[in-house]
Amino acid sequence: MSYLRTAILLAAMTALFMGIGFLLGGQSGMVIALLVAAAMNLFAYWNSDKMVLSMYGAREVDARSASELYALVGRLASAAGLPMPRVFIMENPQPNAFATGRNPENAAVAATTGLLKMLSRDEIEGVMAHELAHVKRWDCLTQLLGQTACSLYWFNPVVWLASRELRIERERACDDQVIDLGTKASDYAGHLLDMARTFTSSRCSSLATLAIARR
């Protein structure tokens, strides 16, 4: 849902920039406005980790301040052949987690206190493995490309549909990578169902954005 809101915002901003550019400078002004919008998107991608972590008020943790979570992420990163990402915790009762960063060398993963309190260790491991799969697949870049396409072709519903399907496929691919790391498909699906029941019984307004693997 946050992806859709971001894409809509980028599309609206790009259309607004292009409209103002056209009013001020005709077709050449519209092209300049488009280049400015593209530069803004690139800046957002390059600084995505700093921007989103700051927005959520996340605090960085290490082996001393959050030993269990930090060790878990380190083990998962090593198994996935990734460098150790920075680890953050957000003070928020809602269960959520995400990965950010422009590449695996500049990646960060974050989890809310609500997620860490509600889920079992195995469930947290599944969530963080899924987020690290996004890092390994460079999904921040593909997300930017999808959002940029929606911004440029905001009037074309086919582009929005393709972007949505890309996002769904991205989530499924990450589920597959979690299973490739050694988690049984049945166990992983069971953890996801357990998490859904936990969040529903707790009347949480937001859920961890995971898709059940279809193996």
What's the rounded Cα separation, in Å, for the pair 116 and 119?
A: 6
Structure tokens at 144: 């930017």
Closest CA to 4 of 141, 160, 127, 135: 160
What's the rounded Cα separation, in Å, for the pair 112 and 96?
A: 6
pLDDT at 13: 63
Structure tokens at 124: 């947290």
> Average of pLDDT values for 106-126?
92
pLDDT at 46: 73
Tell whether the model's pLDDT for residue 190 goes beyond 60. Answer: yes
Helix segments in the chain, DSSP class H = 2-46, 48-55, 67-79, 113-118, 121-136, 139-152, 157-180, 185-201
Beta bridge partners of residue 108, listed in sequence order: 86, 100
Told to judge if 131 belongs to the known catalytic residues of this protein, a careful annotator would answer yes
Find the catalytic residue in 131, 165, 169, 171. Answer: 131
- Which tens digit of pLDDT belongs to each residue from 128-185? 999 999 999 988 777 777 776 776 666 778 777 877 887 888 888 888 888 888 777 7
User: Does this model's pTM top 0.75?
Assistant: no
What percent of the chain stands above pLDDT 70? 77
Closest CA to 58 of 49, 69, 68: 49
CATH topology of domain 2-23+47-201: Zincin-like (3.30.2010)
Tell whether the model's pLDDT for residue 27 goes beyond 80. Answer: no
Contact 57, 112 (CB under 8 A): no
Distances from the Cα of 11 to the Cα of 25, 26, 150, 154, 161, angstroms: 21, 20, 6, 6, 14
- Which tens digit of pLDDT belongs to each residue from 78-102? 999 999 999 999 999 988 899 998 8
Contact 160, 168 (CB under 8 A): no
Structure tokens at 19: 């409209």
